[in-house]
Structure 1
Amino acid sequence: MMSNAALTVLAACLSLLLPALPAAAQAARADAPAATRTVLSVSWQAGYCAARPKSRGCADFSAAASEARQFSLHSLWQPRRSYCGVEASLKQQARKGKWIDLPELALADGTKARLAAAMPAVRVGLDRQQWLRSGSCVAASPEAYYGRSLDLLDELNASAVPALLAGKAGGEVTLSEVRAAFDAAFGNGTGERVRLSCRKAGERQMVVGLTIGLGPGEGGLAALAAASPPTRSRCTAGFTAAAQGG
């Protein structure tokens, strides 16, 4: 049996060690990425319009246009939140689908021009619907919301990621390829924050866009993606556009 003196020494040692355990656990948690704060959702218009040719945003789509070789803006949204502070009647109107009848957004002329180029369905009011549904939970005003969203989209389109999809010329692209391109553009591991968005079109699975998990903060796309935890993607491969000649 231990002597009283030995027990006293053991108790003293434990008292020194035990407080350190919570601190170590807190440090480990601090090193881990925070929960996803927002999600940037972008469309690949060639695949989207191949899968949904009658969609309102595809009426004037041309695979030869420069916009077909880059991502379009869909939304920037917070997980599990929507229509924040939006009155019930306006929320009901937004859900009915006649978006062009929703209140026009107060945007600077420059922001309005950028948005019209980046979001094909602006002409049917998608910008108004997305502000109410998602933007109201992310920013204090439509100007702040779309200014931020467009800056992130510009970063993505300036990278090699859209060139990967455009270079497939209607062929198949894999999640691994997209994530590798994202890693090369924004830093190792950031591709794990990316999901492929896919939709069936006949016998083919079409890539209609991407979602990118973003952590908290006001930095650029690389820093925000790195601050978000990895995610899983249900879609792991798909075609980027309609078959050539079809």
Structure 2
Amino acid sequence: MKRRNNCFAFALSLVAGMALCAPIQAQENGRGKTTSILAASWQPAFCETKPGKPECKSQTADRYDANHFALHGLWPMRKNYCGVDQADIDADKKGRWTDLPEVKLSAATRDALDKLMPGTQSALERHEWIKHGTCTNLSQEAYFSEAIALMDALNTSKVSALFAANVGKAVTQDQVQSAFDESFGAGAGRRVKMRCEQDGDRRIVTELTIGLGDGDAKTSLADRIQAAGGTKFDCNQGIVDPVGLQ
């Protein structure tokens, strides 16, 4: 009987040890849970495909988004239009973003958002709030402040430096994933997807979508990335487009 009890105790300790190690192993293997996506556009490439947009007509080589990532959005996974009137949903889906309710922000947050999201010139923030922000249980101020903080971390990282140093040249999957790993911890590059579009005979990088795990305004971008699940990188090489039609 004593031997059986010893075996049973050993089995319990083994299971407990496995339970403690499992979250660490899952994180290291990129099997966390992605709860939201940070979408960061390369604005010159976006403007290559949408030159008629107000934010593209006004873009210059010395504007911030010429050599930094621009905020597209912060998207909760598989949730859209939470508690939104059908009339606003219809207007949003038809692209009538200026008909949507105004997003009310503090002066400081509005200034920061206009810098990081040039699409505010097309009322992109109204679309992002209606479709995605309403599903976060955050106020408009808190939602956009969190997105701004995450983008600031990205734009002061080696990822942004890699793109800025290679304007007009190609970046590869290995380069981008390595920059994420160096900036946000080992394995961070496995939580990123790079999107490209064909522009004539060029393949240009249009956007990075970065998987994030649970967190709040005080949680660093590195920790949010590390808590996310892995994804397919998608585009293995693309050109970092400069400002102006090529």
Name the residue aligned to 2:12: 19
Distance, in Å, in 2 between the alignment partners of 1:78 and 1:121 is 20
Name the residue aligned to 1:167: 165
Q: Tell me by how many angstroms 1:216 deviates.
A: 1.3
Distance, in Å, in 1 between the alignment partners of 2:242 and 2:42 is 12
Distance, in Å, in 2 between the alignment partners of 1:177 and 1:195 is 13
Q: TM-score, normalised by structure 1?
A: 0.87
Distance, in Å, in 1 between the alignment partners of 2:225 and 2:183 is 12
From 75, 78, 92, give the equivalent of 2:76.
78
Which structure has the greater CA radius of gyration?
Answer: 1
Q: Compared with structure 1, are the counterparts of its residues 121 and 245 closer, same or farther at alpha carbon in structure 2 (3 Å cutoff)?
A: closer
Distance, in Å, in 2 between the alignment partners of 1:12 and 1:245 is 75
- CA-based RMSD: 2.2
Q: TM-score, normalised by structure 2?
A: 0.87
Identity of aligned residues (%): 35
Length, aligned pairs only: 239
From 173, 193, 196, give the equivalent of 2:194.
196
Give the unaligned 5+ runs of structure 1. 1-7
Name the residue aligned to 1:37: 35
Distance, in Å, in 2 between the alignment partners of 1:113 and 1:97 is 24
From 146, 149, 152, give the equivalent of 1:148.
146
Residues 76-131 of structure 1 deviation map (CA, whole Å, 9 limit, x = unaligned): 11121111222222212211101011000111111111111111111211100001
Q: Compared with structure 1, are the counterparts of its residues 11 and 230 closer, same or farther at alpha carbon in structure 2 (3 Å cutoff)?
A: same
Distance, in Å, in 2 between the alignment partners of 1:243 and 1:15 is 67
Asked whether 1:138 is paired with 2:136, we answer: yes
Distance, in Å, in 2 between the alignment partners of 1:72 and 1:193 is 19
Name the residue aligned to 2:238: 238
Name the residue aligned to 1:4: none
Give the unaligned 5+ runs of structure 2. none
